Amino acid sequence: MTALNFLNFIQYLFLIYSGFYAVYLLFYAIASFFYKYGGKTSTNRLRKFLILIPAYKEDKIIINTATEALKQDYPSDLYDVYVIADSFKRETIELLQNEDNIQCIEVSFKLSTKARSINKALQAITEEYDGVIILDADNIMDDDLILKVNNAMANGSKAIQCHRVAKNQDTSFAILDALSEEINNTIFRKGHIALGISSALIGSGMAFEYKLYRSIMKTIDTYADEDKELEIKLFLNRIKIDFLNDVYVYDEKVTNSKVFVKQRSRWISSQIFYARTYIFKSIYELFKHSNFDFFDKMLQLLLAPRILMLGITFIIAVLSSFFNRGFLFYSWLVVFLAFVLALVISVPKRFYNKQTLLALLSLPYGFLMMALALFKIKLGHNRLSPTPHHTANHTKNERIRERIKNL
């Protein structure tokens, strides 16, 4: 085989991969228009909930997050807020302990992980609950979140992903990060649920049947993102993950390139780890037990970062106009346009504004930063490297709530 033939062979392989990727995104993006939550809207039974907020060195924001978690339109005696404080300053621990209705569990590990913090807390908590809600240290819940989660559990849901949205869009990177999350919500949550397939988890803004969550978490001790292993084990137990599109959790987005690279390198590392670990098992489960949720999750883990694929297919399409022409040029052009169409129809209407347009001008820089993240993926697997957050502005969250709900 000549060098030219080999290059053509590689190009055709990558074209097949890119084409599958684009069709996958477009298919579920279109399916998202048929999303409809089919459960009942209310129930007479009010369950008791545990709200867990695992946090690592989040002294600046944890008091605000914990106190906001207490502001639920739900009987106060039917939910408890626990902060799992890993490597906090002593003064922060004392402030938490002095707050009414907030429980603080202090943990410490030689090598900290979110899974270890959660498991340590679950061992220390002796009271029984019906459900558990997992928040990140920067998350603010809508006031009716517990009530709506309670209703979903009355309809049979055992695992739920709420709709996480950005509470800050103060930089171009924050807007792009918010866009990325909403595209994920459209494709991997709304689109999947519309077709009867499980939603993907995010890592926070999640709710579970308490006994189910505790039993699965006992089996998880990983440096990689624990939500992916949690997903996999839910699928292996044939547990469907639901998505509540109208139940909001407000999440801080990355604001600069340094944080972006660090965060994405961790995500990519985790993605590679779980894809490599479970890909063959997912194929077995598909053919042996018709477990499509598990297999579909592996397909998601095999998808490269979208911004990279968008940039690469654009570059190849341009180069093909000079060197390939004919079939290959039109194939790459169609693949690129399919990517663009899938992403455009996945973006909520509220993002169609001048600020988003200006942020999109940063896409080439984002492409370079994502490429850089590929060379730093080792950072994402061998230690806990949480995304840094800043003090939340709850007044701003109220404005975001109204803007979203009026659409």
Q: pLDDT higher for 279 or 111?
A: 279
Q: Which domains does the chain have, with CATH numbers?
A: 3-33+272-380 (no CATH), 37-254 (3.90.550.10)
CA distances from 117 to 54, 94, 266 (A): 7, 19, 18
Token code pair at residue 346: 């996945």
Our CA dihedral for 406, 205, 351, 370, rounded to 10 degrees, sits at 180
- Average pLDDT of the residues in 17-39: 93
CA distances from 61 to 53, 56, 181, 258, 291 (A): 12, 11, 22, 20, 41
Question: Of the ranges 91-95, 170-174, 297-301, which one carries the lowest mean pLDDT score?
Answer: 170-174
pLDDT at residue 166 greater than cutoff 70: yes
0.75 surpassed by pTM:
yes
Question: Of the ranges 77-86, 156-165, 371-380, which one carries the lowest mean pLDDT score?
Answer: 371-380
Q: How many Cβ atoms sit within 10 Å of the Cβ of residue 102?
A: 21
pLDDT at residue 317 greater than cutoff 60: yes
pLDDT band at 123 (very low <50, low <70, confident <90, very high): very high
- Average pLDDT of the residues in 16-26: 97
Task: Give the residue from 107, 56, 101, 68 showing the smallest Cα distance to 82.
Answer: 101
pLDDT band at 48 (very low <50, low <70, confident <90, very high): very high
